[in-house]
Structure 1
Amino acid sequence: MIRLICVQNYTKKYGDKTVVNDISFTAKDGAITGFIGHNGAGKSTTIKAITGVIRPTSGSITINGIDIQKDGKKAKSQFGYVSDSPDHFLRLSGVEYLNFMADIYDTPLDERSAFIENYAKRFGIYDSLNSTILSYSHGMRQKIMIMGALIHNPSVWILDEPLTGLDPQSAFELKQMMREHVKKGNSVFFSTHVLEVAEKLCDEICIIKKGELLYCGTLDELRATHKSNASLENIFLELTETKE
């Protein structure tokens, strides 16, 4: 199976306003692909289309070769999605939420138990699993949402600003998990504002500005068209021609 996200000629309009304009790229297997751009550039709109939350105005999107619009249920079973907000299912306890997600994906009891123990200990929330998500800090909610998205061991990870709110140790653990995942031949596609993280972590970079895709490829290829020793931050600011 080819483990990748393939976006072809994706456009999203709201009325007369074009939010994303005719972009195409792939997030390949065995690679961490970073999706970067200013606020309002179209990152979340693109990710919501990839995950089937919204429908494209035109274009096609496939996950592991499965069209998200034509066979949404099968396509959605291929990936784990972490949205840019962790404030969901607040009345459930952490373990209730994880078991709920595991039930949706028919994750066997032995597999989910091992997953919950492993990830909860790595994230430092094992002792809080029986508390309600409402009582969690923002960072703890982010961790439990990440665990819920990954509990069925999907080949493709789609993460929208996943490091926001995480403490340094948990951010380190998540980055390690991402590296471990792609070493198995899987795919990680994530958006981030932290360019230093993208530079150190990503195998490929996609840069979007005002709904237009400016670049998608390796950082080495990007540097080849700029100063060879330039940081991703400097190249990004040069390409987007504006500072936040």
Structure 2
Amino acid sequence: MERCPLDNASLNDSDRLLGEGNAEPTGAELTAKLHIFRTYIPMFQCSNFRHLQGATMKLSLYQPNDAVEIEQLFIQTFTNSEGQSEGAIVGRLVKDLISSTDPSNFYGFVATEADQIIGGIFFSRLIFEDGTNSFILSPVAVRTDFQRQGIGQQLIRFGLDALSKEGVELVVTYGDPQFYSKVGFRGVTEAVIPPPFALQRPEGWLAQSLTGDQIRSIKGRSFCVEALNNPEYW
């Protein structure tokens, strides 16, 4: 399947947290370690493959002084995977999200290691006429040399947990169903959750309830933030 216009560059991430080798702990042992670290605090230290080799990855809220570094992360990651033109488009989208979106309508989260940003995700508000508290996840990037280690999935789960605590009811995204199903998203039709624009690839329209309830049909129109308000992205 070709990439959806709002698709993400971390689609090669996998659930694998460990590399090869008998010296590393079993899945059950790692799960136990991860459970200890999954304390709901502002800075989340994640025990993963790199942590076992002496490095520590941290997941945290995006900070405004990260803007230039995170924009470059998206440009380079998408350039590596999709070409220079796509890198420029996604970099501009990230810049517009950061510079033009009201903070109440915008969340960003980053993964850092050795004080370098290695991954980033953004959520921006999706407004429905019925008042459903909803955000859209897009875009997502994990630095090319850090992919295939589950970082994108961990970062998304971290962000979803934070949004849930803020009372967000629904999160949608537009991307690869195979990847996003690993973090709880399921396909929905445009009739069930109306997107702001007609979708070029409706099979990539995905949603997740953060309340534990079934996803219900939403009537009426939806509206995105200005940075995404371009039919070419959809």
Same fold by TM-score greater than 0.5 = no
TM-score range, shorter chain: 0.3 to 0.5
With structure 2 as the length reference, what TM-score do the two structures score? Answer: 0.35
With structure 1 as the length reference, what TM-score do the two structures score? Answer: 0.34
